[in-house]
Every structure is written in structure tokens, then in C-alpha cells.
Amino acid sequence: MRVVAIATCVAGAAVALFAASRTWVVVTQARPAPLPPLHEAKTGGTLALATALGGLAVAAAGALTVVRGKEWPGLAARYDRPSRPAGKPQTDAQVWDALDRGDDPTR
């Protein structure tokens, strides 16, 4: 679980860094006749802010999992298959006979 939490933290930080460094809009400004149009790249904006915040939230969740993940409860033993009693091993014929009698051979 720790490896997945670290990968989540890194992925969230990468998304936040991508959002902060990406060119989101290119603005073209017309200029007088002998001059070519001016192209200006802009970063930021509402979409970039939302993406950066989402990436930071994912990174924070990954960091929280790294720090506190060991304290979280694991799977309960009640869902495990019950162990077989320490008797003689059953043959296939004995299992089928138990099924014919209506017994559950898995218990």
C-alpha cells in the first residue's frame, strides 16, 4: 500500500506542476501593416487553477496515506475461508458422499 500511496503522491504533484507550467491560451494581437501579428502565450486561468488544486489534493491524499496508512484497519478474518479440521484428508469419493448426504464438505 505504501508504494501505491507514494505513486499517488507523485502523480498528484506531477499534475499540479503540469497545470502550473502549461500554456493554456495563446492570444494573437493584430498590429499595423508592416509588423506581423503578436502571439502571446498565457498560463494560468480558471482551468489551470482547478487542475493545480486537484493535483495538490491528490498529492495531499497520497502523503496522508503514506503517513497514516499503517494505522488503518486491514481486511477482517471473518471473510477468510475456514480452515479444515486437523483430521485425515478427504478423498474425492468422501467429498461426493458428503454432498449426497446433504453435508457441506467445505465446513
Per-residue pLDDT tens digits of the chain, which is 107 residues long? 788 888 998 999 998 888 888 777 777 888 888 888 888 777 777 878 888 899 999 999 999 999 998 888 877 777 776 666 655 667 888 888 888 888 876 66
pLDDT at 89: 62
pTM as predicted: 0.55
Map grid coordinates 493584430 to a residue. 30
Question: What is the distance between the alpha carbons of residues 71 and 54, in angstroms, rounded to a whole number?
Answer: 25
Other Cβ atoms closer than 10 A to 19: 22
CB atoms within 10 A of CB 96: 12
What does the pLDDT read at residue 85?
61
CA geometry: angle 100, 101, 107, nearest 5 deg: 100
Question: Measured between alpha carbons, how far is residue 57 from residues 12, 44, 63, 80 in Å?
Answer: 7, 18, 10, 35
Instruction: Map residue 66 onto helix, strand or coil.
Output: helix
